[in-house]
Amino acid sequence: MDEFRISDKGPVFSPGKLICIGRNYAKHAKELGNALPEQPMVFLKPASALLSTGGKIIIPSMSSDVHHEVELVCLIGKMGKNISIENALDHIAGYAVGLDMTARDVQNEAKSKGHPWTVAKGFDTFAPLGPFISRSSVLDPQNLQVELTVNGIVRQSGNTADMIFPVKKLIVWCSSIFTLMPGDLIYTGTPEGVSQIRAGDELEARIEGFPELNVGVRHP
């Protein structure tokens, strides 16, 4: 994925940092046996992990337990550092539905050794991303129903109202660490229901009013 557009006549954005938020829904943290964070838990993915709708997630040879995590994704449209909560949403150009794919077995092994999660999260195709809609099309990013089906069966269903750290606070927090740049993406966390995918599966991620994200799954 070389660039993003909100519309045919809108500006073009090149992919920047993929900033991901872990454990941002209490029920998801509970299902994995994790404590609730006291501040946003941030990790990064490389831009090479991006995958457009219609593509296929590749299960890497070093993992036998890849999980789906459906998320609201924010596209940063304006540079900012130490952004105030009052101005936070002004830095968003658009929103999309995305997937944060995780090699859970690789992640668990890393966690047991106190190592980073980068490998488990950063494989090629591990950040599927749907088409964007403009910020103005979303009246309230904290009232969006998020859903994922696998082979037509609902696996995840939640609402962004249940985020521990809402979008505004994520932008404030992330901009206190990184200068946010146009083209940066914030994957805002996943609701409960994460589970394993297998070669041949068809995944459909939805947020009401957004273009859908449809991806398949295959081995290398």
Looking at every residue in the chain, the average pLDDT score rounds to 95
Cα distances from 165 to residues 80, 81, 100, 162, in angstroms, run 19, 19, 17, 9
pLDDT per residue as tens digits for the range 103-124: 999 999 999 999 999 999 999 9
Residues in the chain: 220
The three-point CA angle 18-128-101 to 5° equals 80
pLDDT tens digit sequence for 152-182:
999 999 999 999 999 999 999 999 999 999 9
**Partners of 94 in beta bridges:** 75, 134
- pTM equals 0.96
Report domain 4-218's class.
alpha beta
Domain ranges of the chain: 4-218
